[in-house]
Amino acid sequence: MATPVGLDLDAFWSGLLAGADGLSAVERFPTADLRVGRGGEIKKLPPAALAFRSRAAALLAAAALDLTTRAQLEAAPERIGLVVGTALGGVEELDHALSDDDGARRALDGLYDSPAHAVAAWLGVRGPVLTVSSACASGATALGLGADLLREDAVDLVVAGGYDTLCRFVMRGFDALRSLTRDRVRPFDRRRTGLLLGEGAGLVLLARERDARGPRLGRLLGHGSASDASHIAAPDAEGRGLEAAIRAALAAGDVDIGDIDFVSAHGTGTVLNDRIETAVLRRMLGARASVVPVNSIKGALGHTMGAAATLEAVMCLLAARDGWIPPTVGFEEPDPACDLDYVPGACRAIRPRRMLSTSLGFGGCNAALVLEGAA
């Protein structure tokens, strides 16, 4: 893990449980001309990660460093895959490439799959290296595709996850769209006025059940995706794509919605997303909608885009391991249009067993994961 609340799994988890605020004034690039200059910026990366030219690769490497202290890549290099999701790839390097003439390398670093290949080479991974870019749903689809490669015996291990950097390119874009809040991020709160962006990277090691060694965090039971086919930037008004993705993930995992006892929502803090997501979850959960805890960790981290779904999936598994669900930081005043149990205030002592994680992104992307704690 590399996140605004901690640079390893333990710091990430304790930060979430404590309700830490990882949002701060952005220092790495100028923001004076923007409406909003705050975000979930990582102030310092591990020295080993700084060997990479691009910050995107450095973030991914920081997460890989943490992962490899906890798990060994014990398989033939050509039987190990790497599948990562990103909304922005190496776009910051494209900016540099346009403004200087540093030869071919910088131009190639601007390609969205460059960070994955750089880190795959660093890890000695020689199997398939896939970059998924389904916008802010990328981290979920990446975990799903990694699991597919294992299930079909194309590889024996997969390093999977997501990453994205907080850079001027994306800050200027969301600022121009008036999507960024000048207030704090308040997912599902009556006073919510938008999101703040964050940066981060999360990687997990996926293995087939029979090949897994050492302690396990849990299981990815199913994943699903669906296209809205309604608007390039806004979610479908009825959330039909999100509902289809959830149904597909449940079907793939052979899990009944009645068995889901915790939901990690996309929960960006925008007026539209939170209302639509709530309506979909209410439809799906039915009579249990008011009692199944639903949280969003974007109030603590900001919206980490391609990293978000992976960080949220790991959060679900840690909740199952330790019996604590992190709060929705920033949620204080209920909105009549958002009437679920959003875990306000402080972390809650519940040990979920089967969990649902939802994600949405530009281009009508929707993805869902169904997870189970190791127990």
Partner 1 sequence: MKQPGVRVEAVGLLTGWGPGVEALPAEARTAAAERAVIPLARPALDGERFRRATRECLLGVAAVQAMLEDAGLTRDTIRGERTALVFVTAAAYGASNVEWLAGQAGTLHFPYTAPSVLPGEVAIEFGLTGPYVILIGGPAATVDGLWQAGRLVADGQCDRALVLAVETFQECAALWTRARWTLPQPLVEATACALIGPGDSPVTYAPLAEASSLARAVERRAGRTLACAPLAALALARAAGSARAVVSGTWRGRTAAIELAIAAQPARV
**Rule CB under 8 A: which residues touch partner 1?**
86-87, 89, 91, 94-95, 97-98, 101, 103-104, 107-108, 110-113, 117, 126, 128-135, 138, 141, 145, 148, 152, 154, 169, 172-174, 176-177, 224-233, 240-241, 244, 248, 252, 361-366
Q: Helix (H, G, I), strand (E, B), or coil: what is residue 63? A: helix
Note whether 214 and 71 are within 8 A (CB).
yes
C-alpha separations of 160 from 48, 51, 142, 166, 337 in Å: 20, 21, 6, 21, 35
Identity of the amino acid at 260: I
Based on the residue annotation, tell me whether 136 is a catalytic residue of this protein.
yes
Instruction: Classify the C-alpha dihedral 40-46-48-50 as positive or negative.
Output: positive
- What residues form DSSP beta bridges with 373? 218
Based on the residue annotation, tell me whether 231 is a catalytic residue of this protein.
no
End-to-end CA separation in angstroms for the chain = 22
Identity of the amino acid at 39: G
Q: What are phi and psi of 216, to 5 degrees?
A: -115, 145
Least distance (Å) from partner 1 to the CB of residue 173? 4
Q: Which of 167, 223, 303, 316 is catalytic?
A: 303
Closest CA relative to residue 262, chosen from 312, 216, 226: 312
Given the complex with partner 1, which of 145 and 285 has the nearer CB atom?
A: 145
Q: Which of 167, 223, 266, 338 is catalytic?
A: 266
Given the complex with partner 1, which of 126 and 351 has the nearer CB atom?
A: 126
Note whether 159 and 235 are within 8 A (CB).
no
Q: CA-to-CA distance for 129 and 116, rounded, in angstroms?
A: 7
Least distance (Å) from partner 1 to the CB of residue 256? 18
Based on the residue annotation, tell me whether 96 is a catalytic residue of this protein.
no
Closest CA relative to residue 144, chosen from 310, 327, 319: 310
Identity of the amino acid at 128: P
Closest CA relative to residue 246, chosen from 279, 293, 198, 291: 279
Query: Looking at residue 112, what DSSP letter applies?
Result: T
Least distance (Å) from partner 1 to the CB of residue 37? 18
Given the complex with partner 1, which of 41 and 113 has the nearer CB atom?
A: 113
Note whether 235 and 260 are within 8 A (CB).
no
Which residues are marked as active site? 136, 266, 303
